[in-house]
Each structure stands twice: as C-alpha cells, then as structure tokens.
Amino acid sequence: MVRNSLGRWIPETFNGKALIPYRDPFALQPQGMRASRPLTRVNPGASKVLGSLREAIEASGLRDGMCISTHHSLRNGDVLLGQLVREIDALGIRGITIASSSIHPVHAELIPYIEKGVVAGFECGVNGPIGEQISRGLLKCPVVVRTHGGRARALVAGQVPVDVAFIAAPACDEYGNLSGSSGPAACGSLGYAQVDAEHARVVVAVTDNLQPYPVTPVSIPQTLVDYVVCVPTLGDPKKIVSTTTRITTDPVGLQIAQYAARVIEVSGLLRAGFSFQTGSGGISLAVANHVRTLMRHNKIKGSFGCGGITGYFVDMLEEGLFQTLFDVQCFDLKAVESIGRNLNHVEISADMYANPFNAGAVVNRLDAVILGATEIDTRFNVNVNTESNGYLLHNTGGHSDTAAGAKLAIIVAPTMRGRLPIIRDELTTITTPGDTVDVVVTERGIAVNERHADLKRELLRCNLPVKDIGQIQEEITQITGQPRPLEFTDEVVGLIEYRDGSIIDVVRRVAD
Amino acid sequence: MVRNSLGRWIPETFNGKALIPYRDPFALQPQGMRASRPLTRVNPGASKVLGSLREAIEASGLRDGMCISTHHSLRNGDVLLGQLVREIDALGIRGITIASSSIHPVHAELIPYIEKGVVAGFECGVNGPIGEQISRGLLKCPVVVRTHGGRARALVAGQVPVDVAFIAAPACDEYGNLSGSSGPAACGSLGYAQVDAEHARVVVAVTDNLQPYPVTPVSIPQTLVDYVVCVPTLGDPKKIVSTTTRITTDPVGLQIAQYAARVIEVSGLLRAGFSFQTGSGGISLAVANHVRTLMRHNKIKGSFGCGGITGYFVDMLEEGLFQTLFDVQCFDLKAVESIGRNLNHVEISADMYANPFNAGAVVNRLDAVILGATEIDTRFNVNVNTESNGYLLHNTGGHSDTAAGAKLAIIVAPTMRGRLPIIRDELTTITTPGDTVDVVVTERGIAVNERHADLKRELLRCNLPVKDIGQIQEEITQITGQPRPLEFTDEVVGLIEYRDGSIIDVVRRVAD
C-alpha cells in the first residue's frame, strides 16, 4: 500500500495489475502509441448481416476471459447487455470482463451471471444494485470506475483492450453505417460508442431498425463495423431518455442556483464566446435558466454548450445564445430530435469530449461547469461515487473531466441530505480532486478555493455570502451533529481511477 | 524481375523496398494492425498556435529523410506545398519524401528542390511536368503512384508512415478544429486529409482563415491537430475549384454518353436504390444527364452518388434523385456550398471512400461508375497514368477503386485521340485490371467483358451496337494505322501500385 498525494491508501496491484497512485491533475504524461484495430478486408458483394446475437458472438471469436463492451446511451432502457450476457452464458463462455461506458440499475439482471462466473469484472463504473452488492461483499467482482474521458483514454491508450464491442444502433444499414438519431430506440449522440468502434478488435452493430443503405447522419461508419445483427428491440424507449427534464421548484435548490449564476456573472467569464456545461438535474437547469436570462439581457453570444445535452441547451442554441452544441450524449428527446437535423448541434466522441491524452479535448475549452456532489471535504475534494452509507452507487461521468478542464468548476449542493452533512472532514471516496474544483455553492453560502483570491474578493464586493468552507461545515454540523464514521474492512473491491489512469481512491468493502 | 499476372515485368525491389507483384483484384489479405499515432497530452490553457510555417516545421521535429504530406483538395490552386518545400530547404533539411494525396502541375515549382536533393521521392502520383521529367530521365526521383483508396490503405496500414502532415485548412480555430466549407480557400470536403490526421506522427493545420472557437462543421477535430499556423493565403481560389463543369457539346462525346446511359438502363441496375459515380468530364456529365432524365421519368429514387462531387450531383440530390451524396472531394463551387449546409451531403474520408483494407468502403456499394481512359487493351485493361508518348502525366484517382467496387464499371472514350487509337494490343501502362472493367463504350460501338454474357445478350436485344473489342480496335486501326511502338530503357522510374499494395505495372524511362 502507498499513499497517493491526497492521502488515500492505494494497493500496489488490483486484479493482477500494477497501479499508479494519483499525484496531480495534469502532470502524468502518456507513453507510446494510440491503440488500434486489426486491418481487415471486406470485398464487394460480401454480407455483414448475421442471423442472431448468438451467431455474432460466435463470429466475433469471443472466448473465455475476453472483454466486451456496450454503450450506455440507452441508459436504464438498455436491454442489449442483458441479452448478450445470457447468450454468452448459453454458449458456455466464462470469465468475461465488461468494459461498457456505464452500467445502470436495469443491469441488476447480470447479478446471477456474476455469481455464476460468466461475468468476472467490470472495467467501468456501475450505477445501482451491482455496485451496492459489491461494496457489501455480497458479490465478488472487481470494478474499475472511470470518468467518461478516462474510459476513452483507457481504450485509446490500449489500457483496456476491448475484444468485441456490441454497439446498440437505433438505425443501421446492412453495411453497418449507424446512427443514433432515428428509430424506436433513438438516443441521439453515440459519442461513447465511437471510441469502441475505433479501438475494439471486432465491432458488432446490433439494431432493431435496419434501414436501406445508406443510413445518415453517420454516427459510426461502415468501415469500422464487422457484423450487423437484428434484434426485436434494443430497449424501452420510455426509459432511454426522459421526455422532460425540469428546473427545480425546491426553494433551497433555487437559492443555490441563484448564487451559482451570480458566481458565473461575477467571474467575468460571461462574455462573448462563453462556454458552459450543466447536467440535467433540477438545480443545474435552474442555473442554466439564470445564465440564459443574463446572456439575453447582456446580448452575449456564447461559443458552445457541451456534455450531456438537454432540450434546455437546444433552446439556447436555437435562440442564438450558443454558436454550437458539442454533444456526447443526449439527455432528453428534444436533444435527440435536434441532433439529427441541426448542423450546429455536433455529435462528438467521448475522446473529443474529455480524453486527457489527445491533442486537446472539448472540456479544456469550458469556461464554466455546474457539477453535483454526494460529499465535499474542506480541501474541495468531491465524492460522487459512493453515498454516505459507503455503497458504490454512482458512476463518475464527466465530473472529474469537466472540473479539470473548465476555468470555473462550480459544485452546487444543498448542505444536508437526509440529515447528513454534505461537507465532511474526510470523504467516503474521493472522485474529483480539490485542485480542480473552484467554488462550492450551498444555500448557506459560497466557498471559494483559496487559489481564487480575486474571485473571492469580487464576490464579497458584490455582497454575495462568501464563507470559508470550514465555516459552512461548522454551521451544518451544529444542526446534523458529526456523522458516525463508517466502518470498512481492508478488502478493496473497486478502484476509482482518475481520468489520467492513476488511482485517486479505492472502494473498500463495508463492514457488516 | 518477375512477371505479374497481367504479364508485366516487376522488379523485386524499388527504392530499397520489396515489391509484391499484382495477382488479382480481391485476394490479397491484409496483415497486422491499423497504424496509429503517438499518444499526446494538451492541458487546458495550452496554445497550439505557432507564428510561422518555419516554426511549425521546427516544432514538428522534421529531419533529413522524413516524410511529409499535404492534401490536394485545393488542386492546381495549392500554394502550401511549394511554401513548405522552400521553408524546408531554408532550414537545410534534405531527402524529404512527399506523400501528398496528389501532385498537380502547379507543383512544377518543386523541380529545383528535387534537383537540389531537398525532395527525394514521391509516395504519391503526380500530374503534369514532374512526372513528365521523371519519365524522360531528366529528374531522379522515385514515384509510387497510388489510387485514392490505395493511398488511404498505405497510410492506414502503415506502409507509408507520414512524419508530419501539413493540412491546408480553409477554416480553422486556434484549437485546430478545421473545416473545408468556408473561407477564401474553401474547397469543401477534406476527405483525403482526414486519413493523414488519423495516421501522421504530427499534424499541423495551416490556415489563412483563423476563426473563433469552435469552427464547424468539423472536418478534422481538435483532438488530432498538434499545431495551428496562419499563412497569408492557402491558394488561388479561382484554381481551387472550377466554377462550372459542363456537359460536352462534342457530337462524338454525346453519342458515347447516350450509349453509356443505355447500357446502365439495360443492365437492370437503374432501379430504386441506384448508386452512381461519374467524374467531372464533359462525357461523364452527359451520361449523368441522361441517367437523371431516366430516373425522373421512371420515378426512381437512388440511394447515393459518390466520389468527387459536382453541382450536377448536388442538383440530383436536391431533386430527390439521390438520398445521400458521399463526398471525398468537391469538384466545383456548388458542391462546396452544398456540403456545408446539407446534412444529406456527407463528407467522407478517402478510407471510407475506397480503402480496400477496412470493413467495406463506399465504392463496394456502387452500382455503376463512368470512367475514362488514355488507352484500353483487348483484355479490358485500362491505362490512365501515361499518355501514348510514354510520359507519366496523370494520377490514378479513384479509377481502379471504383472499377473494383462497382457492379458495372463503364469506360467511356472516343476511339481516337490526336489520330492515335485508344484500343491497343499492349498498353503503355496498366492502371486498372480488365478483371474489374465491365463495358467499354466508344462512339463506334459497345464492348462487353466476356464475364457478362447476359448483359451482352440484353444489349443486343435492345439493338445497341455491341461489338467485340477486337473488332472495334480493327476498325480504328484501319483509320489510324498501327501506332509506332514506344521505346523505353530498362530503368524503372516509378511504380503503379494497385489499390491493395501489389504492383500492377512500372513506369520506365522513355528512350531518347
């Protein structure tokens, strides 16, 4: 065990692989070449269409111990991964690693196959029951949690060699051109899967919507797709994207959003060329609403909005408040509808979105990002992976990527959740280093990272409730009391990998 | 020396590299992995903008004996390659190989630098004076002529490792997103350069039109661009693309076009989903005009047009006769204007267009293609590289690629040029194998490759002037007489590489 620069104990190896302890956000330099795929040849007249998922698994050469991937653009509506694992089991294949872009609660259906040894590990973060059971020691299954940019890096750098990528294709032609913007399982951007298509040994497009050649717009081109398979359905459209995402109506949330918007305004970043990311949560959207009003009022034309895109950002694009949307994932149906018809709504890969090991990702160009937290410490480190019960319940998403990239990374969070204080002495898990977090906004005040003395002064000048983060913590714990420390065993059940591949923290098994 | 399957003598090595003699169009299987680029890291706040082309050459690490590339989308209006070579010379660097996507007559300005040893060879075909001087033995400079798909393959397979790609960018932002569709040197598709951006060791974007971030539509993304350099001009817009391309008015050409259109009609391919490529020559456009009329009349909705795209194909797209245009290169200003605004006018890379070593190029999906020739033999082999004076004057373009891919590859050519017969016993050079050529259409009759007995029968049934190719040859030579055979020395000055990397022919020095 060694301590990384944030004081977390990191084992020397995990699941047989040597680990690099996290040191700082920007120093680790990549070595070697971008990973690539085998050359192949498909002559005129050859068909790529196979009869079933099982035939595709056989044709792909999948064997015991190999690694597969899917994308999570269908989110909790995805049925492909479950189908795949059942077929893999039926073929008698064991010890498969799953390196999907994310795992959702729907994938709790994999639990019996983990127990049976069909699935041997996850080279990706997990949302929901699988993570919970692993943290409780009920399932033996190593997990490596990665950011969206870190996952792209892991594939691009060859750290995680995917043997077969099974890409859910909402629209696909028989030659493998595939698009996310139409069909019963339309999910818009296929930005995560684009990375798999470029780096997996074999690529299988799986569709419930085979269309005449050529399918456009082309999210992933025919040149990268080895096989095409039709299935009855890719998923439940109602769960693929929510039809609406709404601004919070909670007074605490509204107060936080108002403060956060003022921080952006006072920062001086809200000028021509402003770039911005928010999530789809109610507070984030409320911040976006304030920012939109300010941009309108001050006639500010921004450069781009990015990240998971909501209809809210589509409206801002169409209103002329942004020149471009960079979209790695559509968060609602309005975004899905827009990406297929608006040339300024640009589909980008997770590599372009957030990979730290390329010639510069989009997150590097962000002015401001609004992010959430399950816990924050007084050094501005943030946890989004585990809840305060110690269970691994959430994937990192673009959290650490955008925090590292943006000039102004703002964490918005109510000071209490279920009577637990959000600001802690020690985090259950460190997801995002405080070195990349600039401001924490709560309903009780605004804490500014000490690196930003100018911003702090300016906020004070504007009569905003700037407080020391320790002071906010103290105010809360006077109400909540000191939370009872969690007890963990020594057993490391998962890793929290920073975007550069170093280990920022581990997940330990929760003691009974 | 060994004879390839077409009877051409091929040396065992050329310029120090072992050669594979051509055998057949489809059998050669690729080995190994797709080539890749070094991993890199660009942190937030870092700038990619350099002050001059010279600084960029220095920053790229270019040294004696390395390989550079440019694209030819600016065609005879390009001034970048000339500027580059002058700067390389000024820096004292020698022995550079040029692996551009094509060389044009404007690049005759390189001749003094070839003589001086700055430029040591061309890993690409050459149009115009350089090829002529090399074939006459006036310049010592090995040339490897490749098809568009073959060049993509050579880069993708790592056969030609490009050290530094200098990409002329008609619009570019400071982070290296670049677009071909706007700016004073707008040329539309950057399909050739996309391959370089993915495979060169270092990528430099060179622009005369730096725009605010982000430039869209993104032809090549920021993630692949290491440096950005501004220059006063990329080229002469009047020569970048011709403003109009016209249907021939020559009666011989019109007769040929009419026959060719009838061949397509009779072939049965002109049905829903029809796909088509023509060049921009007067006869080709006349064929397109006939086909358009037939499609309108029979209410046929085609799937795609591809290749170098003309305004003529844009009209057909907008009229609904094609669903999609796949565009690797814009041939006129109307195409340039269209590609920037029409989602169904799709920019594709040369890899997607025609590389034989991927999971299936667009040419594989072509129904019919109209191609030219400088010479044809009675086995349907075609020459487009050398003229009948023996000089290497033309690059192959997509000729062999589309012939191999299309179900119906039609050569259109007048029987005589300057009193020389177009059908020969023996070609000066074989560019495209007869095994991939289906029909030869001349004003004196239509010759059908013996593989297509059904088509021949059907054409005869429709009272079209089908003749044996030998018979057409005889008719012509009765007028022209037998052409005087050319005399060559034994010296091999260039290779004609087939699209799969095997050598279909060589270019020998013309005897004085």
User: Which residues of A fall within a CB distance of 8 Å from B358?
Assistant: 39-42, 223-224
DSSP track, A112-151: HHHHTTSEEEESS-B-SHHHHHHHTTSS---EEE-BHHHH
Sign of CA dihedral B118, B121, B125, B128: positive
A8-12, A487-491, B214-218, B280-284: the lowest-pLDDT one: B280-284
Asked if A36's CB is within 8 angstroms of B346's CB, the reply is: no
Asked if residue B232 has pLDDT above 80, the reply is yes
Q: A473 in contact with B at a CB cutoff of 8 Å?
A: no
- CA dihedral (A85, A349, A61, A145) in degrees, to 10, reads -50
Q: B343 in contact with A at a CB cutoff of 8 Å?
A: yes
Residue window 81-100, chain B: list those with CB within 8 Å of chain A. none
pLDDT score for B239:
87
Asked if residue A480 has pLDDT above 80, the reply is yes
Asked if B404's CB is within 8 angstroms of A216's CB, the reply is: no
Asked if B32's CB is within 8 angstroms of A33's CB, the reply is: no
Q: Are B502 and B10 in contact (CB under 8 A)?
A: no
Q: Which of B172, B199, B216 to mutate to test the interface with A (most CBs of A within 10 A)?
A: B216
Residues with Cβ < 8 Å from A251, sequence gap 6 or more?
none
User: Which residues of A fall within a CB distance of 8 Å from B343?
Assistant: 216-217, 340-341, 343
Our CA-based measurement puts residue B331 at a distance from the nearest CA of chain A, in whole angstroms, of 22
pLDDT tens across B120-132, in order? 999 999 999 999 9
Helix (H, G, I), strand (E, B) or coil at A510: strand
Half-sphere exposure of residue B201: CA atoms within 13 angstroms, side-chain side: 15
Q: A271 in contact with B at a CB cutoff of 8 Å?
A: no
Chain B CA closest to residue A351 = B223
Asked if residue B257 has pLDDT above 80, the reply is yes
Chain B CA closest to residue A366 = B44
Give me the percent of chain A exceeding a pLDDT of 90.
95
Chain A CA closest to residue B272 = A212
* Mean pLDDT of all residues belonging to chain A: 96
Spatial CA neighbour of B411 closest among B426, B431, B394: B431
pLDDT-based confidence at residue B418 (cuts at 50, 70, 90): confident
Residue window 403-462, chain B: list those with CB within 8 Å of chain A. 404-407
pLDDT-based confidence at residue A174 (cuts at 50, 70, 90): very high
More confident residue, B187 or A280: B187
Q: A343 in contact with B at a CB cutoff of 8 Å?
A: yes
Q: Are B8 and B505 in contact (CB under 8 A)?
A: yes
Q: A364 in contact with B at a CB cutoff of 8 Å?
A: yes
What is d(CA A347, CA B216) in angstroms, rounded to the nearest whole number? Answer: 11
Our CA-based measurement puts residue B315 at a distance from the nearest CA of chain A, in whole angstroms, of 19
pLDDT score for A243:
60
pLDDT tens across A295-328, in order? 999 999 999 999 999 999 999 999 999 999 999 9
Q: B289 in contact with A at a CB cutoff of 8 Å?
A: no
Asked if A26's CB is within 8 angstroms of B43's CB, the reply is: yes
Q: Determine which helix (DSSP H) or strand (DSSP E) holds B90, and give its type and residue range.
A: helix B80-90
A426 φ, ψ (degrees, to nearest 5): -135, 130
DSSP track, A177-211: -EESSSSTT--S--HHHHHHHHH-SEEEEEES-B-
| CATH code of domain B2-24+47-123+160-240 | 3.40.1080.10
User: Which residues of B fall within a CB distance of 8 Å from A39?
Assistant: 30-34, 156-157, 357-358
pLDDT score for B284:
93
Helix (H, G, I), strand (E, B) or coil at B182: coil
For residues B377-412, one letter each, b for 16 or more C-beta atoms within 10 angstroms of the residue's C-beta and e for the rest, the string is bbbbbbbbbbbbebbbbbbbbbbbbbbbbbbbbbbb
pLDDT score for B510:
97
pLDDT tens across A145-173, in order? 999 999 999 999 999 999 999 999 999 99
Spatial CA neighbour of A237 closest among A366, A94, A73, A358: A73
Q: Are B231 and B206 in contact (CB under 8 A)?
A: yes
**The tokens of A112 are what?**
């019996």
pLDDT score for B236:
85
Asked if B359's CB is within 8 angstroms of A223's CB, the reply is: yes
In chain B, which residues fall in CATH 3.40.1080.10? 2-24+47-123+160-240, 251-485
Spatial CA neighbour of B5 closest among B486, B435, B489: B435
Spatial CA neighbour of A404 closest among B41, B40, B228, B49: B41
What is d(CA A163, CA A67) in angstroms, rounded to the nearest whole number? Answer: 5
Would you identify the CATH topology of the domain A52-94+161-240? Glutaconate Coenzyme A-transferase (3.40.1080)
A92-106, B32-46, B235-249: the lowest-pLDDT one: B235-249
User: Which residues of A fall within a CB distance of 8 Å from B277?
Assistant: none
The secondary structure of B295-360, three-state, reads HHHCCCCEEEEEEEECHHHHHHHHCCCEEEEEEEEECEHHHHHHHCCCCCEEECCHHHHHCCCCCC
- Region A481-496: mean pLDDT is 94
pLDDT score for A155:
98
Residue window 175-204, chain B: list those with CB within 8 Å of chain A. 175-176, 203
pLDDT score for B245:
72
Spatial CA neighbour of B305 closest among B367, B243, B260, B218: B367
Q: B143 in contact with A at a CB cutoff of 8 Å?
A: no
pLDDT score for A158:
97
What is d(CA A422, CA A388) in angstroms, rounded to the nearest whole number? Answer: 9
pLDDT-based confidence at residue B8 (cuts at 50, 70, 90): very high
pLDDT tens across A367-403, in order? 999 999 999 999 999 999 999 899 999 999 999 999 9
pLDDT score for B243:
60
pLDDT-based confidence at residue A254 (cuts at 50, 70, 90): very high
Which residue type, as a one-letter code, is found at position A433? P
Chains A and B form CB pairs within 8 A to the count of 184
How do beta strands A416-417 and A375-377 pair? unpaired
What is d(CA A323, CA A327) in angstroms, rounded to the nearest whole number? Answer: 13
Chain B CA closest to residue A274 = B213
Asked if A29's CB is within 8 angstroms of B358's CB, the reply is: no
What is d(CA B414, CA B253) in angstroms, rounded to the nearest whole number? Answer: 7
Our CA-based measurement puts residue A80 at a distance from the nearest CA of chain B, in whole angstroms, of 23
Q: Are B146 and B69 in contact (CB under 8 A)?
A: no
In chain A, which residues fall in CATH 3.40.1080.10? 52-94+161-240, 251-488
Chain B CA closest to residue A304 = B214
Asked if residue A292 has pLDDT above 80, the reply is yes
User: Which residues of A fall within a CB distance of 8 Å from B365?
Assistant: 44, 175, 213-214
Asked if residue B485 has pLDDT above 90, the reply is no
Asked if B41's CB is within 8 angstroms of A213's CB, the reply is: no
pLDDT score for A239:
87
What is d(CA B494, CA B509) in angstroms, rounded to the nearest whole number? Answer: 9
Our CA-based measurement puts residue B226 at a distance from the nearest CA of chain A, in whole angstroms, of 6
pLDDT score for A123:
98
pLDDT tens across A429-445, in order? 999 999 999 999 999 99
- Region A469-477: mean pLDDT is 97
Which residue type, as a one-letter code, is found at position A470? G
CATH pick for B251-485 out of 1.20.1430.10, 3.40.1080.10, 3.30.70.20, 3.30.56.10? 3.40.1080.10
**Locus of tokens 């209103």:** A319
Asked: is A251-488 a CATH 2.40.50.180 domain? The reply is no
pLDDT-based confidence at residue A512 (cuts at 50, 70, 90): confident
Asked if residue A244 has pLDDT above 80, the reply is no
User: Which residues of B fall within a CB distance of 8 Å from A357?
Assistant: 39-41
Asked if residue B244 has pLDDT above 80, the reply is no
Our CA-based measurement puts residue A429 at a distance from the nearest CA of chain B, in whole angstroms, of 25
**The tokens of B235 are what?**
């080229």
pLDDT tens across B353-385, in order? 999 999 999 999 999 999 999 999 999 999 999
A134 φ, ψ (degrees, to nearest 5): -65, -45
Which residue type, as a one-letter code, is found at position B150? G
Spatial CA neighbour of B429 closest among B489, B507, B501: B507
User: Which residues of B fall within a CB distance of 8 Å from A217?
Assistant: 343, 346
